Structure 1
Amino acid sequence: MVITARALNRSTLARQLLLDRVPIGVGDAVRQVVALQAQQPGSPYVALWNRVAGFVPERLDEALDGYELVRSTLMRLTLHLVHTEDYRAFREGMEPTLRGSRLHDPRFKAAGFTAADADALLPGLLEYAGRVRSGAEMRARLEEVRGGPVEAVVWRMIRQYAPLWHAPTGPPWSFGTAQSFVTAGTLPVLADPEASTAGLAVLLRRYLEGFGPASVPDMAQFTTAPRGKVREALGLLLEGVPGLPGGNLPKLEQLEGPDGTVLYDVPGAPRPDEDAPAPPRLMAMWDSVLLAYADRARVIPSEYRRHVIRVNGDTLPTLLVDGYVAGVWRPVEGGVEASAFHPLPDDVWAGLAEEAAALGGLLAGRDPRVYGRYDHWWTKGLPAVETRVLPGA
């Protein structure tokens, strides 16, 4: 079966709950979309507002306070929000990447630490974090056990590698600049190749459920796992190994992409008609649909990519029009400033205005300038052909 580029776009939108807002709980929504980028604390709220019918931000607060949803360093070495039931497998799948990038970072070694040092320190640190501890407390504990001061980079690498969850610190977005941590409720198995391959297989099947059909390079981009590791885990899914996703489920399907690329998918997953209507959306910064593929043209036209994904990795909040990035937006005094990269018809502007009014209601109760610290990107040149300030609620 050959699938067109536009049909791939619609598959992504359907699985990411972006063709229609769905009446679904926040925990189930996060499981459906696999994970939410969470390095900017307000973004999971905006991401779920785009996807959940009648989204109530307090429900997300409650899910975070109760650790139904957890925030931790996972895919692409960045903070993600995932369901607690997914955390262990996802973390085991990411183990080789996290271990290699954090415990073998040259800065970590230059500070006098080795992977063996971290392995020796982790049990005590995890026991200490059995209840919520501030970042300052955790670093002080590390220095106490180590018997002297440790550089900031050491604490950063250890906390990103260790199976720690970020503990909520309060409004407006549950997590602030002051970080607190608690040991993961279900500890993953670390430094075990079999566990990591099995965990990666779980993660890849969940990825295909939420983002498929997709290629091996797409899966590697989403996870930052080496392509060889991806192929190894994918082999387990294709073979139907007992005890893994695919073991007691239909095996993966293979499709041909528009350029002949081999794509994989789970049987029965939504693949809407390529002409399915896609309403306009105001996407969060770092929304996963913008970052989940090696071929980002699935959602971002190639000529806009460098304007949306900046040189340092900042991924701006975007206008999604007919399923594709058509510009960027930012909150300003009086509403949402929307900058289109190509001319938009009046009915699209009207749809964006409705979205802006609804988003304004969410932001007003939390932080009307949620992305204000990133305004500098707007002063460095964007290819906007038209900019409008759309009134908030």
Structure 2
Amino acid sequence: MTTTPRALNRSTLARQLLLDRATIDVGDAVRRVVALQAQQPGSPYVALWNRVTDFDPERLDEALAGFELVRSTLMRLTLHVVHAEDYRAFREGMEPTLRGSRLHDPRYKAAGFTAADADALLPRLLEYAGEARTGALMRECLEAARGGPVEAVVWRMIRQYAPLWHAPSGPPWSFGTAQSFVTASTLPVLADPDAAAAGLAVLLRRYLEGFGPASVPDMAQFTTAPRGRVREAVRLLEGDLVQSEGQGGTVLYDVPGAPLPDGETPAPPRLMAMWDSVLLAYADRGRMIPPEYRKHVIRVNGDTLPTLLVDGYVAGVWRPVEGGIEASAFHPLSARVWEELAGEAEALDTFLAARDPRVYGRYDHWWVKGLPTVETRVFTGR
């Protein structure tokens, strides 16, 4: 069976709750979409607004405050919100990547630290973080255990490696500027190849449920795990997976019975969050981003701008401005599409107004530097 590029696009939209908003609790929604990119604190809220019918941001506040959903460094070495029940397997699957990138970073080693030092320091640090502690207190604990000053880069590498959850620290998006941390309630097994292999297999199966069909390079892109590790994990799963052929003969893997909408299934416009996972979860970014727009959406430093999806594909960008939501198209759009975008933008403006009307204001410099837009409109729901 051959799967067309448009069918792959529609599969992603269906599994990511972007063809139709779902009447679903936020905890179940996060499990359905696997994980939410969360380095920008407002983005999980915007991501769920796009996916959940009548989304109530206070419900996400509650889920994060109660650690039903947790924020931690995971896939692609960035912050994600995942369900607490998924955290252990996901973290074990990411262990070799996190350990290699954090505890063997040249800056960490140049400061006089080794992986063995981190292993020795972690028990005391995790015990201390049995209740939420500020980053400053955690660094002091690390220095006391070390018996001397610890450079900022060392604390950064250890906190990103350690099985720590970010503790909510303030409005409007649960995580304010002052970071606090708490030890994961169920600790993952670290530095164990068997646990890592089993965890990666769980993570990749969940990835296929939420993003499939997908290739080995796609799975490696989503996790930042080496392709060799991904192939081994796929071999562990192979009896439970189905295969199809993608463009150019690419082998695609999937879970049996997962949604596979026809490529011509209608896709409503959406205003996607910064760093939304659908833009970053594939080696083939063309599944969602036309190649000619990629460099405008994913900037040289990794910033991934809030985008307009039209007919399932990136067609422009949006940002909050004084007075509403500014939507800018990379190519001409029909009057009907603009009308549909207006409805989404007005609803999003109303949603943001109650929390942070300028949620992405710090990224305005990308617009100042210039984007290849052909038409811009401002919509207000206030």
TM-score range, shorter chain: over 0.9
Report the equivalent of 1:254: 243
Residue 343 of structure 2 corresponds to residue 354 of structure 1: yes
Moved over 3 A (4+): none
Question: What's the secondary structure of 1:259's corresponding residue?
Answer: helix
Give the residue type in structure 2 aligned to 1:271. L
Report the equivalent of 1:96: 96
Residue 261 of structure 2 corresponds to residue 272 of structure 1: yes
Alignment of 1:275-354 (within 5 A): 275-354=264-343
Judge which range, 99-108 or 352-361, deviates more.
352-361
Alignment of 1:113-152 (within 5 A): 113-152=113-152
* CA displacement, residues 247-304 of structure 1 (integer Å, 9 cap, x when unaligned): xxxx200000022100000000000011111000000000000000000000000000
Q: Is the 8 A contact 1:334 1:392 kept in 2?
A: no
Give the residue type in structure 1 aligned to 2:206. R
- What are structure 1's unaligned runs of at least 5 residues? 240-250
Paired residues in the alignment total 382
Cα distance in 1 for partners of 2:381, 2:162 equals 41
Question: What's the secondary structure of 2:248's corresponding residue?
Answer: coil
TM-score calculated relative to the size of structure 1: 0.97
Give the residue type in structure 2 aligned to 1:21. R
Report the equivalent of 2:185: 185
* CA displacement, residues 279-332 of structure 1 (integer Å, 9 cap, x when unaligned): 000000000000000000000000000000000000000000000000000000
Report the equivalent of 1:247: none
Question: What's the secondary structure of 1:233's corresponding residue?
Answer: helix
Give the residue type in structure 2 aligned to 1:142. L
Cα distance in 2 for partners of 1:138, 1:129 equals 8
Aligned match for 1:388, one of 363, 377, 382: 377
Cα distance in 2 for partners of 1:355, 1:333 equals 17
Question: What's the secondary structure of 1:343's corresponding residue?
Answer: coil
Aligned match for 2:355, one of 351, 366, 369: 366
Cα distance in 2 for partners of 1:102, 1:306 equals 28
Give the residue type in structure 2 aligned to 1:123. P
Alignment of 1:125-274 (within 5 A): 125-239=125-239, 251-274=240-263
Kindly, what percent of the aligned residue pairs are identical?
83
How far did 1:392 drift? 2.9
Report the equivalent of 2:10: 10
Question: What's the secondary structure of 1:213's corresponding residue?
Answer: coil
Question: What's the secondary structure of 2:320's corresponding residue?
Answer: strand
TM-score calculated relative to the size of structure 2: 0.99
Report the equivalent of 2:26: 26
Cα distance in 2 for partners of 1:23, 1:170 equals 27
Report the equivalent of 1:55: 55
Question: What's the secondary structure of 2:260's corresponding residue?
Answer: coil
How far did 1:356 drift? 0.9
Residue 67 of structure 2 corresponds to residue 67 of structure 1: yes
